[in-house]
Structure 1
């Protein structure tokens, strides 16, 4: 029997660490940072639905699947190709990742009168987690610098746990301020990002939202698996939304990263940051 290979974009309970993820057993995760056009709505049953919209973005994960897995997910979503009364419709849509664009299956609500959430972009997993707890936080850029946090009188809200290592990502400078680049992480196979893991307070979380420009649409909150103290923990970090071509950061920003990270980051990793910045400055 020929196996048909497809891509599937998931944005709710099928995501990693969520209750229906086992329906994707055997699927290959292509990207855990993926997005497509659409507007999320909440359900009374603790799962989201997606409404067609060209004015909003939904974040989720992208998987490579075969025909058997697609049939199982159709069953979960009560979707039948010959049934016009489906609760969900399945369509092929363009899905973006850090590296490429894909055409993937996406499930949309077949409910024309549902009211959509008013957020311009949305990540159901982030919203759900933050409603339940204030999670651990992974800092990889200037937010490792305690001097800047102390200036903001927020140091009491950050309790350093130790070195965190994020696999499958690269740290780069893909967003710009007036004086140069600022740090970001992008998915990249066989790369790692080092940073500091913190226990944070609710007040510290609000400070991070303001500092990272979340409300202004600069960075977005996301959850990633970080190794800390010998085990992987799913924790909060912040990722640039509109990535640009990498640009060298200014001296003061590089100083903040190194000064903040030197207590925890390995010497090899700090040297790699210096090398990356030198290459960007040389063009």
Structure 2
């Protein structure tokens, strides 16, 4: 079993949540270091940044669900360039901390827009 930090379209109520609907929700409110961006393609990107915070959910997934997430995130182990890379990241919550797989992009593209509050759901709902 694996812990995965979901900060974008995999979150509850979001467009790709069906991919992990059978996963076990461990934390519905959690956060980690990073800067969140709107890719302008309907999903966010998390970029490494120790001075910013990104909010999301933590799920426990099995091998099959992790493979589905990898496909969605454009990640393949050993490939030179993935859309996202798997990074083990410390995730905080009101009940403690976890080490979880987090999907990160290496750097933002010029067209990306910074999401200042680090919360994809709040940003998307505000955007309408």
TM-score by length of 2: 0.92
- Determine which structure has greater relative contact order: mean sequence separation of CA pairs < 8 Å that are 6+ residues apart, divided by chain length: 2
Q: What is the correspondence of 1:243-254 to structure 2 with a 5 Å cutoff?
A: none
Q: Which structure features the higher share of helix residues? A: 1
Alignment partner of 1:62 is 2:63? no
Equivalents in 2 of 1:36, 1:116: separation in Å?
Answer: 19
Change (3 A) 1:43 1:118: closer
Q: 1:22 aligns with which of 18, 21, 32?
A: 18
Alignment partner of 1:98 is 2:94? yes
CA deviation string 1:62-107 (max 9, x = no partner): 1111111111100111101111211111110000111010000000
Q: What is the correspondence of 1:233-248 to structure 2 with a 5 Å cutoff?
A: none
Counterpart of 1:117 in structure 2 is: 114
SS at match of 1:122: coil
Equivalents in 2 of 1:100, 1:67: separation in Å?
Answer: 25
Q: What is the correspondence of 1:155-170 to structure 2 with a 5 Å cutoff?
A: none
SS at match of 1:127: helix
Equivalents in 2 of 1:24, 1:113: separation in Å?
Answer: 28
**For structure 1, which runs of at least 5 residues remain unmatched after alignment?**
133-283
Counterpart of 2:125 in structure 1 is: 129
**For structure 2, which runs of at least 5 residues remain unmatched after alignment?**
none
CA contact (8 A) 1:39 1:116 kept: no
CA contact (8 A) 2:35 2:118 kept: yes
The root-mean-square deviation of aligned C-alpha atoms, in Å, is 1.6
Alignment partner of 1:6 is 2:2? yes
Alignment partner of 1:86 is 2:82? yes
Equivalents in 2 of 1:126, 1:107: separation in Å?
Answer: 20
Counterpart of 2:30 in structure 1 is: 34
SS at match of 1:12: coil
CA deviation string 1:183-218 (max 9, x = no partner): xxxxxxxxxxxxxxxxxxxxxxxxxxxxxxxxxxxx
**1:25 CA displacement:** 2.5
CA contact (8 A) 1:86 1:110 kept: no
Equivalents in 2 of 1:118, 1:78: separation in Å?
Answer: 22
Change (3 A) 1:124 1:68: same
TM-score by length of 1: 0.43
**1:110 CA displacement:** 2.9
SS at match of 1:81: coil
